[in-house]
Every structure is written in structure tokens, then in C-alpha cells.
Amino acid sequence: MSQFDQIVDRKKTQSVKWDTLEATYKQEGLLPMWVADMDFKAPAAVQSAFQTYLNQGVFGYSIVPDSLYDAIISWQKRRHDFTIKKEDILFSSGVVPSIALNVQSYTQPGDTVLIHDPVYPPFAESVEENNRKLVRSKLFTDDKFKMNFAEMERLIQEEDVKLFILCNPHNPGGRVWSKDELQQVGNLCKKYNVIVVSDEIHQDIIYQPKTFTTFQNADPSFKDFSIVLTAATKTFNLAGIKNSMVFIKNPELKQTFEKIQKQNHQNDINTFGMIGTQAAYEGGEAWLNELLDYLKENIDITYNFFQKELPDVKVSKPEATYLMWLDFSAYHLTDKQLEEKLINEAKVVLNPGISYGEQGTQHMRINLACPHSTLKEGLQRIAAAFN
């Protein structure tokens, strides 16, 4: 038995994933397989670091200890062969807040920002809420998600794009962009002086034989015009601690970002965030390796289930992330009908694909980070509604 088989009752824990359903859908008994956090307990090393801090009983303002920088630098080196220095690291209260600060740092109101379609919804929100112009380049989604470099180049030229936000690995598609793909997209951005923000929050949830390449390792020149965002929160199920890192190697870009951070007084971070991140990177590696094996089993269970029980739902195995992209187009339902069928008949809550962009129409994103037994229950419910 794996530690991840344990059913953790998350109801009444102020969980977005579990505790918002009744108010939203006005019914009981729904199984949530949406919001990207996991139904697993965090590593023991993290729990005990929090406990030690709790036990001393004083929760005043804190400084960032050198040991946190060391833990981040060491993690990036040993897991991703990525060399960073203390002076390249800034902190933030989340990757999404960092995206918004990046938009403010490197563009002016009215400037154009490029993202993919489909992609994680807060990319578009951060652009539009900051009164920048949003353009999307459609990913090819036939078999495996692929970038359309020709369309990206056309949009960059025609729309005078200033900033490109990359999701690496890709949510919702589960692609680990190859070094070659990163070189192509990076060279394109370099050619037209487009700054790249690479959201790498899913960098640790990678399934062998795939390996992850950070955007800045794809080519030595890419560090000059890019910002990398990452966190321990997705990897170790710590989303609530609101902590993330911003890696900026170009001193000028760093100065600009720091100025905007300061203007918003967003340069101090939560103490639990620091403690959790350090403890996870220092003591969570064995937990993560076990988690990856467990998630891989969940991917296989899900893939095999759809192939056998519901072959009209087209699926492919993600190379990264614990999310799977489900293609329901064979049923010819509208997005609203599809969502309603899943809620009212299957009694499962998934993320509607359309929220990731137009390319997501007739798709759903399922979160597989739960015990095998919960997953199987959810899959059975879906099959019962569609068969």
C-alpha cells in the first residue's frame, strides 16, 4: 500500500476544490477533479518544519534565510541541471501574481502580449486586467500539442508583440517542450526583441523518459531576455502557502521587475511560504519520487479506462503534470451541455476546456492527483453518464 492510497477528508478545510461545490452547483455528492492541487498530504519533512515553527509560538516579520537560497539553488542544479546564483532569485507570493508583475514590468498599457491557445486561464486574465492587448497563437492539438511557429512569427510581426508568456511544461496539454522546440520559440522571440516569461511551475512533475529543459538552458543567450517563474507549491502540494520564485539573470530586467515589486509592496513573502519551500526542497525528494510513480499509475489507469470503456473520449498520456486533456468532441455537445452532463449526470467536476481558450471547446481537463480508488470512482461516474 502506498502512502498516496490514504483517503484524506478535505471537506470543511476551506478547500477551493472541495468546499465550493455545493454553493456553486446547488447539489451534494459531487466529486471534484478540477482545481490543480492534490488530495495528498504534503511530505512529512514539510509538516514537521511547520510544526517546529508553530511550536515556538511567535509569528512576526521574517527575513529570507541563506539556507532557503541554498535549497533552491541545489534543487535547480540537481533536478534540472540549471545553475542559478543567489542574486538571480527573487520571491513572490505566487506564480500568477508574478505573471501580473511581469506584464506590468515589461509592457505598457496597450502593448501586445502573446500566449498560446489553449493555456492556463490566468495568463489571459493577467494581460487583460492590466489593459494590455492579448493575442493567442493556437497550438496544434491533433495528437500531441505542438507550437505553430509560423503563426507565432506572423502574430509577433503584425501585432508588434512585446512579451510572450510560455507555459513550460504546458497546462492543460501536459507537453514537456523539447530543447529543440524551446530553441525555435526562443530564437523567434530573440529575433523580434520579445521578452519571454516562462512559467515552469510544473517542472518537477515529469514522467520518464521525458526530461525537462528550463527555457534558460535551451540556449546560453536566452537568459538575456527571459524570466523564469517556478515554485515548490505545485510539486509538493503546498498551494495555500502562496510562495514562488522569480529567476532573472539579466540585471537590467531584474532591476525593472524589482522596481515594480517595490511599487506594489510585493517584495515580502509569507514565512510559511519560506519554511515550506525550504523543507520541501531539502527533505521532500523521496516523497516526490514516490509521488511520480503513483501519478504515472493514475495516468495509465485513466488512459486504459477511456480506451476500453469510453473510446469515444479521445485521450493521450501527458508527459508532465497530473492533468489530462479529454476530447469529448465525438459527442457533439455544446460546451454548456458537456459541463452540465458531467455535473448533473456524472456528478464529477472537471475544468471546462473552453476556459483555456477557443481550442478547448468540447474538451475537459481532469485532475488525476487523488488516490487510485477516488480516481476509479470518478472514471466510473463519467462512463455511466456517457454509456
Ligand X SMILES: Cc1ncc(COP(=O)(O)O)c(C=O)c1O
Which residues contact ligand X (rule: CB under 6 A)? 36, 94-96, 120, 167, 171, 199, 201, 231, 233, 239, 244
Q: What contacts 70, CB < 8 A, 6 or more positions away?
A: none
183: left (phi over 0), alpha (psi -120 to 50) or beta: alpha
Q: Which is nearer to ligand X, 239 or 342 (CB)?
A: 239
Cβ atoms of 359 and 139 within 8 Å: the answer is yes
Q: Which is nearer to ligand X, 82 or 120 (CB)?
A: 120
Q: Which is nearer to ligand X, 292 or 383 (CB)?
A: 292
Using alpha carbons only, give the angle 261, 262, 268 rounded to the nearest 5 degrees: 80
Q: Which is nearer to ligand X, 243 or 310 (CB)?
A: 243
Q: How far is the CB of 231 from ligand X (least distance, A)?
A: 5
Cβ atoms of 288 and 322 within 8 Å: the answer is no
Q: Which is nearer to ligand X, 94 or 352 (CB)?
A: 94
Residue 232 CB-density burial (10 A; 0-12 exposed, 13-18 middle, 19+ buried): buried
Helices (H), 238-361: 251-263, 271-283, 285-309, 335-340
Q: How far is the CB of 174 from ligand X (least distance, A)?
A: 11
**Encoded amino acid at 114, one letter:** L
- CA 244 – CA 256 distance, rounded (Å): 18
Cβ atoms of 272 and 31 within 8 Å: the answer is no
Q: How far is the CB of 117 from ligand X (least distance, A)?
A: 14
Strand stretches in the chain, DSSP E: 31-32, 89-92, 112-117, 133-138, 161-167, 195-199, 226-230, 244-247, 314-315, 323-327, 348-349, 351-352, 363-367
Output the residue with the shortest Cβ distance to ligand X. 94
Instruction: Count CB neighbours of 246 within 10 A.
Output: 24
Partners of 163 in the β-ladder: 113, 195
- CA 334 – CA 339 distance, rounded (Å): 9
Q: Which is nearer to ligand X, 229 or 310 (CB)?
A: 229
Q: Which is nearer to ligand X, 243 or 302 (CB)?
A: 243
Q: Which is nearer to ligand X, 239 or 370 (CB)?
A: 239
The label of the residue with cell 510513480 reads 293
Q: How far is the CB of 376 from ligand X (least distance, A)?
A: 24
Q: How far is the CB of 319 from ligand X (least distance, A)?
A: 15
Q: How far is the CB of 241 from ligand X (least distance, A)?
A: 9
Q: How far is the CB of 205 from ligand X (least distance, A)?
A: 10
Cell numbers placing 87: 542574486
Q: How far is the CB of 198 from ligand X (least distance, A)?
A: 10
Residue 320 CB-density burial (10 A; 0-12 exposed, 13-18 middle, 19+ buried): buried
Q: How far is the CB of 380 from ligand X (least distance, A)?
A: 26
Q: Which is nearer to ligand X, 156 or 269 (CB)?
A: 269
